[in-house]
Amino acid sequence: MRRSAFSLVEIMIVIGVIALLVGIGIPTYRILQAQAQRRVSQGLVETVAAAVSSYGQLHFTLYEDDNGDGVANRARYPAWDVDADGRLDGDIGADRFWRPPPALAASGGASQRAMIRYQGFVATANPALPRERIETSTRRVTDTWGRPLRIAYAIEVYGDRPFGIWSTGPDGLDQGGSGDDIPSW
């Protein structure tokens, strides 16, 4: 007599094997995905650090008409973090979170944004970055978790460079390049 169907025991064994493989595969996939995100962010941080290094000790001159007489006063700010918020600058014309540097903000001028001749890191340095790493609305460079890269300036703190670039890592907590942050140094 020929059988034309599987027995209930055979079906239960196949379901058990599939469940075991899924149980092993999902955690492994998540671990590999987290490692890939860290590697992509590390490459991004290194690319941005190389682009910043190629400009040396670049400063931008910002112009502000603080008394309405049409004469612009000048101030120099370090490139890439002109507003001193610790984040790599995006396009200040498009970034709704951008605020003027502390000295210009204190002057009380109304035309601060219009008088600035700086368009942010991406437009100025034009680094070779994947499109998905540049936020569309603000033109800030973001890590694989969608958070803007951080930047700070200090001598002999960030290795052989006078600045440090880092991603805040998977937890999103800014630990100054330590903990699970992904630093350029």
SS (H, E, C) 54-111: HCCCCEEEEEECCCCCCCCEEEEEECCCCCCCCECCCCCCCCCCCCCCHHHHHHCCCC
With a cut of 50, which residues of the chain have pLDDT below it? 109-115
pLDDT reported for residue 174: 87
pLDDT reported for residue 113: 47
Query: What is the rounded distance in angstroms from the CA atom of residue 155 to the CA atom of residue 129?
Result: 27
pLDDT reported for residue 92: 73
pLDDT reported for residue 133: 93
Query: What is the rounded distance in angstroms from the CA atom of residue 160 to the CA atom of residue 157?
Result: 8
pLDDT tens digit sequence for 15-58: 999 999 999 999 999 999 999 999 999 999 999 999 988 876 66
Query: What is the rounded distance in angstroms from the CA atom of residue 128 to the CA atom of residue 131?
Result: 9
Q: Is 100 exposed, middle or buried (0-12, 13-18, 19+ CB in 10 A)?
A: buried
pLDDT reported for residue 60: 62
Domain positions in the chain are 39-183
pLDDT reported for residue 102: 60
Q: Is 107 exposed, middle or buried (0-12, 13-18, 19+ CB in 10 A)?
A: middle
pLDDT reported for residue 68: 59
pLDDT reported for residue 56: 66
Contact 101, 113 (CB under 8 A): no
CA angle 98/163/123 to nearest 5° reads 45
